[in-house]
Structure 1
Amino acid sequence: MLFTQVIAAAILASLSLAAPTSSSGKNTTTTSTTSIASPPATPAPSSSTLSLTQQLFLADTAADRIALLPEDSQFVFDFGNPALKGKGGKGGDLIAANRKTFPALVGTGSGMAVGFLGPCGFNTPHVHPRGTELQIVTSGRLVTEMLPENGVFNNNAAADGRRLITNTVTTNQMTPFYQGSVHAQFNPDCTPATFVASFNSEDFGAGQVADELFAMSADVVSAAFGQAVDGADVAKFKGAIPATIAKGVEMCLKQCGIAKR
């Protein structure tokens, strides 16, 4: 019994020594906590540092977006504006209305372009990475070609190879170009042609196939052509690639008396 009392006294004494004391001499109990500093708050970007397109994206509601466009003229895009022309190529111009060039499109999921092709004007093979194009010819006519994608072949047993969809589209006729498909249009006549293209995207984009291919390293380009193009000649080919709207196919150039580049 005495031994048990001695042990109990020793335990009480150790607890008394371990307990912290306050300035008044009384025992106190503390709880250990880990304090985690909050990360510094990132200030919200000022509207003065954002483009109008960015502000429209951040607007809480459609009503708030419209309030950011106080002028009625901000809802009109002029494809005939002379300041937008002369930047395409020697064969014509392509004017695009997307959410950057025409901020009123933000939230609509739509975009549009108008092409002005001169005699023999050629909209070189290209793709739209983020939109399907519905193209209607509004004056003149266009010869169009489209390669949908890998794995689409001719159904005609007499024809070999990939399916190439070719049409001559006349005034007030329409044709689709699927998202990501390689396609091109050229004006086969000696008079101007115009087309309107609508897209199911505010930022449909475009990539010219030849320009993008020859932007790769010389070895890659040479290999892509089965070594038919020498690596040393890649720079020469790249320098000869025309702008978006080029002067078109040789037959049309001869017919219209237009000198080749």
Structure 2
Amino acid sequence: MLSLKSISLGLLVAAFASNVAAIDVTRDPAKVAALKNAASQLDRLALLPDDSDWLFDFTEQKYYTFAPGGVINANAATFPAAVGNGQTMAILNLGPCSMLPMHYHPRASNFVVAVAGTTMTYMFEENGARVVTQTLTPGKMTIFPQASMHMMMNIGCENAQLVSALNSEDAGTMNFGNGIFADGFPADLVNAALGYQDLANNHTAAGIPAVGTGSVYGTKECLARCAARKRRNF
């Protein structure tokens, strides 16, 4: 049985090696701009005249996958009816051993409820604070305060699913690994900040994938355990 410390270290390594975070592209910029500039709620309603304007089907979105997983956001960018309501609703899909790597939301607190599976979560809010760890099974919830760094991993061999509510229609997501290693900070300064370890270099940056669905595969230990379990079941 691995200790919590070893699991946490494995998650950290996985997050550095394969950081990915979904980016929501605004689907109808003209409509969103008109909704934001509308003088009244009645004017906004006139811009959303059809019943279909008020329906968001998470299962029909391109990030709805469990291989390895995906973050599907209903917000101002993806669902114009959300404009003016100060809220994002999200479905988090995590396939077996999949994870959301270390990230934070600069403009929103995040309430996460488990619907299926077993998900380990980790949250670190600021210097001097401790890491808060939770095990979420169906019906259990945790909170990631605004701008707190957090990550989560499906530690089981079945799909996990969570519902996430954020108190902004434009919460934003910043991935730790991408921001530090792949997005332009001077490598010598990053290495100095990390105790002069040669972590920030072209090799590290090249190993961080482009933006994707929001989920990546987690620890090798979990993947091997679930692969062995699958072999035993056949």
Separation (CA, whole Å) in 2 of partners of 1:50 and 1:99: 10
2:210 is the counterpart of 1:240: no
What corresponds to 1:140 in structure 2? 117
Provide the aligned length of Structure 1 versus Structure 2.
196
Question: Is residue 143–residue 167 contact of structure 1 (8 Å, CA) maintained in 2?
Answer: yes
What corresponds to 1:74 in structure 2? 53
| Pick aligned residue for 2:168 from 187, 194, 201 | 201
Q: Deviations over 1:15-52 (max 9, x none)?
A: xxxxxxxxxxxxxxxxxxxxxxxxxxxxxxxxxx9610
Separation (CA, whole Å) in 2 of partners of 1:188 and 1:236: 29
| Pick aligned residue for 1:178 from 114, 130, 145 | 145
Q: TM-score scaled by structure 2?
A: 0.79
- Runs of 4+ displaced beyond 6 Å: none
Q: Please report how far the alpha carbon of residue 238 of structure 1 lies from its aligned counterpart in structure 2 after TM superposition.
A: 1.6
Q: Please report how far the alpha carbon of residue 101 of structure 1 lies from its aligned counterpart in structure 2 after TM superposition.
A: 0.7
Q: Deviations over 1:69-115 (max 9, x none)?
A: 011111111110153446xx952111111101111011111111111
What corresponds to 1:192 in structure 2? 159
What corresponds to 1:62 in structure 2? 41
Separation (CA, whole Å) in 2 of partners of 1:92 and 1:101: 19
What corresponds to 2:134 in structure 1? 167
Can you give the 5+ residue segments of structure 1 that lack an aligned partner in the other structure? Answer: 1-48, 153-162
Q: How large is the Cα RMSD of the aligned pairs?
A: 1.9
Question: Is residue 91–residue 119 contact of structure 1 (8 Å, CA) maintained in 2?
Answer: yes
Q: 1:257 to 1:200 in 2, by over 3 A?
A: same
Question: Is residue 64–residue 93 contact of structure 2 (8 Å, CA) maintained in 1?
Answer: no
Q: TM-score scaled by structure 1?
A: 0.71
- Name the amino acid aligned to 1:109: G
What corresponds to 1:124 in structure 2? 101
What corresponds to 2:227 in structure 1? 257
SS at match of 1:125: strand
Q: Please report how far the alpha carbon of residue 251 of structure 1 lies from its aligned counterpart in structure 2 after TM superposition.
A: 2.2
Q: Please report how far the alpha carbon of residue 228 of structure 1 lies from its aligned counterpart in structure 2 after TM superposition.
A: 1.0
What corresponds to 2:68 in structure 1? 91
Question: Is residue 153–residue 218 contact of structure 2 (8 Å, CA) maintained in 1?
Answer: yes
Can you give the 5+ residue segments of structure 2 that lack an aligned partner in the other structure? Answer: 1-27, 229-234
Q: Please report how far the alpha carbon of residue 53 of structure 1 lies from its aligned counterpart in structure 2 after TM superposition.
A: 0.5
Pair member with larger Rg: 1
- Name the amino acid aligned to 2:191: S
